[in-house]
Amino acid sequence: MKPNIFGKIVLAGAISAVLLVGMSLPAYAQQSEKKQQKQQQKAERKQQKQQQRAEQQQQQQQQQQVRRQERQQERGAEQQQREINKQQKQQQRAQQELILQQQREQQRQREQMERQRQREQIEQQRNSQREQAERQRQSQRADQQQQRQQRRQERLSQQQQQQLIRLQRQRNEQYRQRLEQQQRIAQQRSLALQRQRRLAQYRYQQRYLERLRQQRIYLLNRRNYDYNRDPYYYTPPSYRYNRGGRYYETNRYGADLLRQAVNTGYEEGYRAGQADREDGWGFSYQDAYAYQDANYGYNGYYVDQGEYNHYFREGFRRGYEDGYHSRNQFGSYSNGKFAILGAVLSQILNLQSLFND
């Protein structure tokens, strides 16, 4: 009896265990499935977070790249603005320097012109004093009257004529030597102008030298000149003029040459002044080679070279001033020629007729 009961108990326990296992299997499977879902959801959330972080990193990188580009553009704009400001400052400094230089040059020219006017006034005062002293020497009027009577003669004496011819030959020889000396000086002067880059003045000087060369050839071809047939050498003086406090006499041929000296000097001075103005050079007529030479137009006849040089320079100075300032205060321009005004010419020469008693 006992064994059966025990067996039944064992059997009942076995059946219960089987039932319990049968009932727990579905629950375990359900729990495992839920666990997998949770793990899958967790993995998805992790993947989403990683994707979000990657997107955020990509956005940050893009934003950083944009900011770097913006900073580069800003630096480029700042650098460009600095260059523009630098160029503007340089232009302003150059313009200010140019204005100052022009002001200094204008002031220098005004001072130079003022000094020149003062020198002219002093010279005029001296001339006036000399003329007054000359007028006081009236005790010589008798001799002068006799000389005027002699000048009214139709011709000079043969002796006087030969004396003038001998003087003329000496004058011609001295003038030829002078031209040769001036050629050497002109070469040195040309080199100096080239070094100074005064191209307009250099071109003007070369044209002046070419005219001098042709003039020299002309004089060489007149070595056998017939003085006896030239009316200058037998025509008595008919004019007198004052230079440097002294009176000189000449006939109408000599007077014409003196007028030519002033006019030629005026034209050459005008062209030299134009050249210096074109070169941007300072006002300085004494520096011009033509002013220093003062021989163009002189044929070696009728008056001394020093006389011609003096009146050439008187015309040159006034022509240079007109040419440099591009005006016509002392002269005029017509038919391609510059000529000094008649009133100015009369003032410079102050020729007085010896027959107006």
DSSP string, 18-67: HHHHHHHHHHHHHHHHHHHHHHHHHHHHHHHHHHHHHHHHHHHHHHHHHH
Q: Is pLDDT at 3 greater than 70 in this prediction?
A: no
Find the range with the poorest average confidence among 90-99, 127-136, 239-248: 127-136
State the pLDDT at residue 175.
Answer: 67
Q: What region, left, alpha or beta, does residue 153 occupy, with left being phi > 0 and alpha being psi -120 to 50 degrees?
A: beta
- Is 1 within the bounds of a domain? no
Q: Which residues form the domain of 236?
A: 153-353
- Is 228 within the bounds of a domain? yes
Top mean-pLDDT range of 47-56, 63-72, 184-193, 306-315: 306-315
Distant-in-sequence, close-in-space partners of 228: CB < 8 Å, separation ≥ 6: 161, 165
Q: Is pLDDT at 47 greater than 60 in this prediction?
A: yes
- Is 184 within the bounds of a domain? yes
Number of domains in the chain: 1
**Residue 320 — very low, low, confident or very high, per pLDDT cuts 50/70/90?**
very high
- Is 160 within the bounds of a domain? yes
- Is 332 within the bounds of a domain? yes
Say how many C-beta atoms besides its own lie within 10 A of residue 351's C-beta. Answer: 18
State the pLDDT at residue 326.
Answer: 94
- Is 264 within the bounds of a domain? yes
State the pLDDT at residue 32.
Answer: 77
- Is 275 within the bounds of a domain? yes
State the pLDDT at residue 19.
Answer: 64
Give CA–CA dist 150/355, Å, rounded.
Answer: 11
**Residue 223 — very low, low, confident or very high, per pLDDT cuts 50/70/90?**
low
Q: Is pLDDT at 91 greater than 60 in this prediction?
A: yes
Chain segment 92-115, per-residue pLDDT in tens = 888 888 888 888 888 988 888 888
- pTM assigned to the model: 0.54
Chain segment 158-196, per-residue pLDDT in tens = 666 566 667 666 666 666 666 666 667 777 778 888 888
Q: Is pLDDT at 15 greater than 80 in this prediction?
A: no
Q: Is pLDDT at 197 greater than 70 in this prediction?
A: yes
Give CA–CA dist 6/280, Å, rounded.
Answer: 143
Q: Is pLDDT at 272 greater than 90 in this prediction?
A: yes
Q: What is the mean pLDDT of residues 247-257?
A: 90
Give CA–CA dist 320/283, Å, rounded.
Answer: 9
Share of the chain above pLDDT 70, in %: 78
Across the chain, mean pLDDT equals 82
Q: Is pLDDT at 271 greater than 90 in this prediction?
A: yes
- Is 320 within the bounds of a domain? yes
Q: Is pLDDT at 311 greater than 80 in this prediction?
A: yes
